[in-house]
Amino acid sequence: MSEPARLLPGSEAPFQSKFQLGTTLLAIGAGLVVDIGGTISSEMFVMSQLGLAAGLAHFPISFAELSKPSHDPAQLLAGFFHGMSFSFIGGYVAAVIGRNQPVLNAALFGVATTLTGLLIGGGSPLWINVLGIVTTVPLTMLAGYLVKRTYR
């Protein structure tokens, strides 16, 4: 006999295969809030700490210098992984909210966050943009797969 499907917290039924547009839009929106909000707020925290450290060290640095884009590969990769971590969390949130189709909802969130990044991003070298385009959707789909696997 097969094991019954586990329920997601707060749901009355196990995963269903039916696509629900309203739930998908809510999932994508919530994922974007987590991704963009988390990235921006943590960047603000890091920048404030860098400014505080520079001030305590009597190292004159302006906010404009802290916020100008860098072309140093190490700094670009650090920012890339920082942003990808919040994209993964956003994909996980989208998958949990869109629990009927967690992988699909996480993938659609990945497309939405990639397009948002292309629209509001700028000043980065082409290679880091291509890296983001190529990796965002698979990473968010991984988050959706983890949700699916956890609650099935």
Whether the model clears a pTM of 0.85, i.e. scores above it, the answer is: no
In which element (H, E) is residue 99 found? none
**91 in a structural domain:** yes
Burial class (CB in 10 A: 0-12, 13-18, 19+), 82: middle
With respect to residue 9, please indicate whether it lies within any of the assigned structural domains.
no
- Compare 55 and 67 and report the one with higher pLDDT: 55
Q: Domain range spanning residue 139?
A: 28-35+71-150
Domain assignment present for residue 63? The answer is: no
Domain count, the chain: 1
Q: Is residue 46 part of a domain?
A: no
Rounded average pLDDT over 107-122? 90
Split at pLDDT 50, 70, 90, the class of 16 is low
